[in-house]
Amino acid sequence: MRWLLLVLTLFAFVLCFSRHGAGAWGFWLLVGFVGIATTTLAFAQARIAGSSRDDSLSEYDLMRLREGKDPLNHDRPER
């Protein structure tokens, strides 16, 4: 979806700079700026979602978290 937003934003700018009337130029420029904001937020959301951990932790992970240990490193030995 974010790639489609990027393509549509670029298309809006192409339409903006290929129009001769001020009204059409202004409309497509506005659509382009809204598209920039929307596309930026979509890419940021995808990056945040890709690097976040799962919503819930198991009981074992919660116990390790309460002990001050990293709950996601089960295989690595303690130092």
Query: Span 34-59, mean pLDDT?
Result: 86
Assess whether pLDDT exceeds 70 at residue 58: yes
Please answer whether residues 6 and 32 qualify as being in contact, where contact means their C-beta atoms are separated by less than 8 angstroms.
no
- pLDDT confidence of residue 55: 67
Please answer whether residues 39 and 9 qualify as being in contact, where contact means their C-beta atoms are separated by less than 8 angstroms.
yes
Residue 75 pLDDT class (50, 70, 90 cuts)? low
- pLDDT confidence of residue 52: 75
Written as six digits, the tokens of 68 are 């001050």
How far is residue 74's CA from residue 62's CA, in Å, rounded to a whole number?
Answer: 12
Query: Span 12-32, mean pLDDT?
Result: 92
The angle subtended at Cα 36 by Cα 32 and Cα 40, nearest 5°, is: 165
Query: In sequence order, which residues have a C-beta less than 8 Å from that of residue 70 and are 6 or more positions away?
Result: 64
Written as six digits, the tokens of 77 are 């030995």
- pLDDT confidence of residue 41: 96
